[in-house]
Structure 1
Amino acid sequence: MKITVVGDLLLDVDINGTATRLSPDAPVPVVDVADVRRRAGGAGLVATVLARDGHDVTLVTALADDDGASHLRRALAGVSVLAGAPLARTPTKTRVRIGTHPVVRFDQGCSPAPVPSSTGAMLAAIASADAVVVADYGRRITANPDIRASLTEAARRVPVVWDPHPAGSVPVPGVAVVTPNSAEALAFAKAVGLVGSHVDAEAGGRLLLDTWGSASVLVTMGEAGAVLLRANAQPQGIPAPKTHVSDPCGAGDRLAGSLAVHLGKGLGLAEAAARAVEDASAFLAAGGAAALATAALATAAPATVGEEPAVRAAAGLGPVVELKGLELVDGTELRPDGVQLARSIRDAGGTVVATGGCFDLLHAGHARTLAAARSMGDCLIVCLNTDESVRRLKGAHRPIVSVEDRAELLLALECVDAVVVFGEDTPETCLRGIRPDIWVKGGDYTPEELPEARVLAAWGGRCVTVPFHPARSTSGLAAALAKVS
């Protein structure tokens, strides 16, 4: 899908470290800096996430000629950037964290800016898009009259999702969805004199729906989910999956981008909004914007069959479980070795993600969890229980699908890079061989409660949970099939 993101670029800098003492000069913590990471923020974050999802992304923005802009160009590798002259320096937001706890934020170059210029190529990118996301961060790219005219025309033919900003421009008429958070909805409504001090976000959003002339307004409310407002329709509440969140940064950007994708694929507004809320929750569960990898990675080649026993023995995994029909095709291994793949990704500076389970009767909940896991890093390795292991865990009637077929189905998914089969009741030995940076599980508990957390802590890995999808389970699917068999 060809997506054009229109909006303001920011440079986000994360300074991460530890603090074990106070400064002798003042009663403030001394932060021992462990690393400094720079990433594209604002519209750049929307474009980066969409590009990582595999979409053809063009970013229409303004880009200065300064040191901050050089960092942004590197961070936006893989995104086609079309930029006009901003007549202002690159706005930079620097966050200092001790562990996962924010300490302070410094803003530079964030004062009001003149309206940037536009080019014919920028306007053509808007005109040729299958969907458009407007990420307005108050730097006035959306105040450019030619860009506004192009967005107005685009809204007549493709989905346009507009993420507004209190210091930004009013959305053009006909936008499919405007996505303020609850505080923004109230601020917008009050700024134009629509509401008093005692009105909720839903009422404020309803007033803005009438004022902006958009097809709908989706007011986001953090862990409370969102409310979808449309003309001549009752408000529709959209719950957010329970998620352990350490950093909410980027949730609105992820939601707006996902919403445009789902609408561009032809989903109805209510379903697209529900999917976008789920995507934003999964994004936060993975660490939010701060967890985005910025390194460009070489593609890792699968191990050859001759190398596999030595690799696995060195990792303490023992012999591979035979999977008839999967092992060899003209001398080439069809099932990539997870240990070798993990090493290749790590050597290239990437992030290794793993998850595990029985995966008996794949369903939509599995697919969403696996896709969310893959988005957190540069490869996804699935630890899969053998048939005997499944029987011990689930009973004599399981698995319904053999390990050979379960592995083949998993590898058929684009988001799965390798499968490692294990015969124990827990994937502990697998994990020690793969040594993933992130272990992902679905569920209604915090990452610290996962039994794998202790194992990953040995090499500095972390556990992440992604939203649980109710009414989607193997047991429920098996029961339904039993009724029609």
Structure 2
Amino acid sequence: MSGGTSAPLVVVGDVLLDIDLAGQSRRLCPDAPVPVIEQATELPRPGGAGLAALLAAAEGREVVLVTALADDEPGRRLRALLEPHLEIAAFALRGGTPCKVRVRAGGQSVARLDTGDGEARDGLVGPRVTEALGRAGAVLVSDYGRGVTGHAAVRTLLTELAADVPIIWDPHPRGEPPVPGTCVLTPNADEAARLTERDDVRIEGTGLSATTRRGRYLAERWGLEGVAVTLGAGGAVLCNGAPEPFLAPAEAAPGDPCGAGDSFAARTTEVLADGGSLTEAISAGVRRASDFVKAGAAAAVAERLARTGSPRIVPERSENAWDIIERTRAAGGTVVATGGCFDLLHAGHVRLLEQARRLGDCLIVCVNSDESVRRRKGPGRPVTHSADRVRVLQALAAVDAAVVFEDDTPVPLIDRLRPDIWVKGADYAGAPLPEAETVRRHGGEVVLLPFLEGRSTTRLLATTKGITS
């Protein structure tokens, strides 16, 4: 089974119109204990399969959306939101376009109003739908229980495709089972539980173990390559016949999760379309969903569509060293910095960093690049590449940021950082510090801190060599 970037990514499923009425609430209504939403702004966006298709198109891909649309005012609004970004191959929706209105105050939903009873019923789908699916390099089925995935002609076309292109099925408890040959199912934990119960199968328990058993049951039940159960802030767990499940953890992403599942499914489909493995696809899907939530999730999509006409959202940029220094100085705080190779981080490093952080309001660590370490320590060093050393350092609660420098000493970097306090270990006592003059020229001071005796990278390496030789 293979896909390719030259063929379009086709999204098949039910489209909804989602609208956020967002404002502020500072008081209750005088005639009922309900909040008054003031200065409300209407922010419409495609929902369901429409959001998944829009997110895939936002990455620059050719995307075709196969769906059912009604010729009513919400249906026309959906077309206007989608057609600038992707191709629509639609057949008739019987009834009104489903519309969901979230009333939000201060970033919190206080009510939701659902209208529209439209369903896709059997009948002709037309040549555009047949042509679109015939050109597909990969298919994402986004089932929202409104009938598109149950349409007889659509299911026949999908079944014929399954042997040649990857089909990713994002299910709904009221929706349809995946067609034979589907590659992977992507329910959330609640959907996985409800799908197993729909078969009158009771898998007791909660947590990862029970979720994994449900995923394995669904994979076997429908003959799937895998089932990737999304776990919200926990990431996603892939059950694909291997003895142990594969867990793709998520990075912390506080915020509104609305649409995160669509983001996950869209990215998973993209990676499989490009020939990636299931584990690569699931990992990439989790990363994309985390970024999506960090960037404001579906509400951000609506806001950008209204403001710029573009669906593309960019995750909030993490603060770097310069941002942290600027923020600290603006608040009248003290900037502390230190430097070193930090090759094989050990207890002595950790103690020094913790002590240094207590001297001020932020701690910036200057890290020798790989070439800089080699020049100082010899051809066998560093043991750990600079990117990994930075990642380990930034995982420490005491470290606010780490910056790699290429020079033999951190002096040029210190000239830019201008720390209020520069920290070194007491093992440098009595030795000339090349950075001291630069620190003091900017009004800072050099401080020596106690070093934990007997701990050093050189000693660790010597001990390891003795064990392995």
TM-score, normalised via structure 2 length: 0.64
Q: Return the match for 1:157 from 164, 173, 190.
A: 164
Per mean C-alpha deviation after superposition, the further-off stretch among 99-108 and 114-123 is 114-123
The amino acid of 1:135's aligned partner reads S
Counterpart-to-counterpart distance in 2, 1:178 and 1:19: 40
Counterpart-to-counterpart distance in 2, 1:354 and 1:19: 29
SS in 2 for 1:6: strand
Residue of structure 1 equivalent to 2:359: none
* CA displacement, residues 20-42 of structure 1 (integer Å, 9 cap, x when unaligned): 11111101110113311000000
Residue of structure 2 equivalent to 1:230: 240
* CA displacement, residues 323-346 of structure 1 (integer Å, 9 cap, x when unaligned): xxxxxxxxxxxxxxxxxxxxxxxx
* CA displacement, residues 49-104 of structure 1 (integer Å, 9 cap, x when unaligned): 11111000000000101110121112112110110001121000000111111111
Residue of structure 1 equivalent to 2:390: none
1:290-369 to structure 2, matched below 5 A, reads 290-292=299-301, 293-295=304-306, 297=308, 357=320
Does residue 30 in structure 1 map to residue 62 in structure 2?
no
The amino acid of 2:296's aligned partner reads G
Residue of structure 1 equivalent to 2:153: 146
SS in 2 for 1:41: strand
Q: 1:276 to 1:351 in 2, by over 3 A?
A: closer
Residue of structure 2 equivalent to 1:75: 81
Q: 1:220 to 1:398 in 2, by over 3 A?
A: closer
Counterpart-to-counterpart distance in 2, 1:187 and 1:121: 34
Q: 1:400 to 1:47 in 2, by over 3 A?
A: farther
Tell me by how many angstroms 1:206 deviates: 1.4
Tell me by how many angstroms 1:121 deviates: 1.4
Counterpart-to-counterpart distance in 2, 1:113 and 1:184: 22
| Overall identity of the aligned pairs, in % | 38
Residue of structure 2 equivalent to 1:188: 195
* CA displacement, residues 196-238 of structure 1 (integer Å, 9 cap, x when unaligned): 555722222211111112211111111122211123x224232
Residue of structure 2 equivalent to 1:216: 226
Q: Return the match for 1:255 from 254, 264, 281.
A: 264
1:126-145 to structure 2, matched below 5 A, reads 126-145=133-152
Q: Which runs of 5+ in 1 are unaligned?
A: 300-349, 360-389, 402-422, 427-485
Counterpart-to-counterpart distance in 2, 1:110 and 1:138: 11
The amino acid of 1:272's aligned partner reads A
Q: Return the match for 1:92 from 99, 108, 114.
A: 99
Larger Rg: 2
Counterpart-to-counterpart distance in 1, 2:315 and 2:291: 17
The amino acid of 1:30's aligned partner reads V
Q: Return the match for 1:62 from 58, 68, 71.
A: 68
Tell me by how many angstroms 1:114 deviates: 3.5
Tell me by how many angstroms 1:269 deviates: 1.1
Tell me by how many angstroms 1:244 deviates: 2.9
Q: Return the match for 1:43 from 38, 45, 49.
A: 49
Residue of structure 2 equivalent to 1:283: 292
RMSD (CA atoms): 3.2
* CA displacement, residues 264-286 of structure 1 (integer Å, 9 cap, x when unaligned): 11111112111111111111111
Counterpart-to-counterpart distance in 1, 2:315 and 2:197: 47
Residue of structure 1 equivalent to 2:182: 175
* CA displacement, residues 389-428 of structure 1 (integer Å, 9 cap, x when unaligned): x999654956989xxxxxxxxxxxxxxxxxxxxx9649xx
Q: 1:258 to 1:72 in 2, by over 3 A?
A: same
Counterpart-to-counterpart distance in 2, 1:158 and 1:263: 9
8 A contact 1:17–1:98 mirrored in 2: yes
Counterpart-to-counterpart distance in 2, 1:72 and 1:425: 50
Counterpart-to-counterpart distance in 1, 2:319 and 2:190: 39
Residue of structure 1 equivalent to 2:280: 271
Does residue 203 in structure 1 map to residue 203 in structure 2?
no
Tell me by how many angstroms 1:141 deviates: 0.6
8 A contact 2:291–2:315 mirrored in 1: no
Tell me by how many angstroms 1:288 deviates: 1.0
* CA displacement, residues 151-189 of structure 1 (integer Å, 9 cap, x when unaligned): 112211111110000111110011111101111111011
The amino acid of 1:95's aligned partner reads R
Tell me by how many angstroms 1:113 deviates: 5.7
Tell me by how many angstroms 1:262 deviates: 0.6
SS in 2 for 1:294: helix
Residue of structure 2 equivalent to 1:338: none
1:13-24 to structure 2, matched below 5 A, reads 13-24=19-30
Tell me by how many angstroms 1:354 deviates: 6.1
1:392-471 to structure 2, matched below 5 A, reads 395=366, 397=368, 425=417
Per mean C-alpha deviation after superposition, the further-off stretch among 290-299 and 141-150 is 290-299
SS in 2 for 1:97: strand
Tell me by how many angstroms 1:289 deviates: 1.0
Q: 1:395 to 1:154 in 2, by over 3 A?
A: same
Q: 1:206 to 1:6 in 2, by over 3 A?
A: same
8 A contact 2:13–2:67 mirrored in 1: yes
Tell me by how many angstroms 1:119 deviates: 1.4
Counterpart-to-counterpart distance in 2, 1:298 and 1:227: 35
Does residue 3 in structure 1 map to residue 13 in structure 2?
no
SS in 1 for 2:305: coil
Q: 1:235 to 1:137 in 2, by over 3 A?
A: farther
* CA displacement, residues 244-303 of structure 1 (integer Å, 9 cap, x when unaligned): 32211111111111011111111111121111111111111111111112148599xxxx
Q: Which runs of 5+ in 2 are unaligned?
A: 323-338, 341-362, 373-414, 419-469
Residue of structure 1 equivalent to 2:401: none
1:238-249 to structure 2, matched below 5 A, reads 238-249=247-258
